[in-house]
Amino acid sequence: MIRLRRTALPPGTVTRLGEYTEEIAAEATEKARKDKARCLWAARRSVRPELIAVLTEMAPGHARCMYCGDSQGTDIDHFDPKSRTPLRTFDWLNHLLACSYCNSNQKRSLFPTDGDGAPLLLDPTSGDPLDHLRLVLPLGEYRARTPQGQACIDVFGLNSRPVLVKGRVDAYATSRHALELWRVVTDKGRHDKAREIVQVSWNRPLADVLVAMFHQSGHPKAEALFAGEDDVLALLRDPQLREGFLNRS
């Protein structure tokens, strides 16, 4: 998971979402509100294309799932499930792009909370997952830094899905090669090629690996985190390379 910026919806879509919410709120009981929310969401054709379009622009990589970062994001997930909070069914701030596996097989209606009722799952558009999760790059596995991080590991199976773990290991190798190639072509003055390498690197699945690499290169214990990979650490700390990759230019 990586930090994402939520963008604005078209005004017309905002209006329609508000109208749907008013219909739900008009119901007299919580059960009726849940039933109305479920019914309206099932018939959401008038707003789904706009929601998907904006969520896709916000997504990591090339339209990747906002939770696992690997598979294509195809579903609009309700961060706070509509079965729990029907009034947030059409709340734009409650919508995230998820792959069908994360949405239907992993998260479903799960929404763990702490003792005070605060969410334990992470919304990558409202906080930085790096504050809660650390990726062990050579292993492709996450370690929790907070209870929120552990909840995400558990609910989304971030470490228990072999395809994700192997994918991160491969992405780490691919990202190292990309850094090396960027340095070579930049030194040769091939700046168009360097920009292409940057764009392709960020558009790949599992962009969280690249984010983790740059983040950990600035850690006080970076030498230990990149033990035996001094050349990689030097590249990650190269000011010119950092500017090119982090500004995506």
Same domain membership, residue 178 and residue 139? no
Among 113, 129, 156, where does a domain finish?
156
| 104 occurs within a structural domain | yes
Residue ending a domain, choose from 156, 173, 189: 156
Residue 194 lies in a domain: yes
Question: Domain check: are 196 and 86 in the same one?
Answer: no
Answer with the one of 104, 136, 156 that is the final residue of a domain.
156
**For the chain, how many structural domains are there in total?**
2
41 Cβ neighbours under 8 A, 6+ residues apart: 82, 89, 90
The parent domain of residue 178 ranges over 162-246
Environment class of residue 59 by beta-carbon count within 10 Å: exposed (0-12), middle (13-18) or buried (19+)? buried
pTM of the model: 0.92
Calpha distance 155→111 (Å, rounded): 9
> Are residue 121 and residue 172 in the same domain, yes or no?
no
The C-alpha angle with vertex 214 and arms to 93 and 180, in degrees rounded to 5, equals: 130
Residue 234 gets which letter from DSSP? H
pLDDT truncated to tens, each residue of the chain (249 aa)?
999 999 999 999 999 999 999 999 999 999 999 999 999 999 877 899 999 999 999 999 989 999 999 999 999 999 999 999 999 999 999 999 999 999 999 999 999 999 999 999 999 999 999 999 999 999 999 999 999 999 999 999 999 999 999 999 999 999 999 999 999 999 999 999 999 999 999 999 999 999 999 999 999 999 999 999 999 999 999 999 999 999 987
Residue 31 and residue 102 in one domain: yes
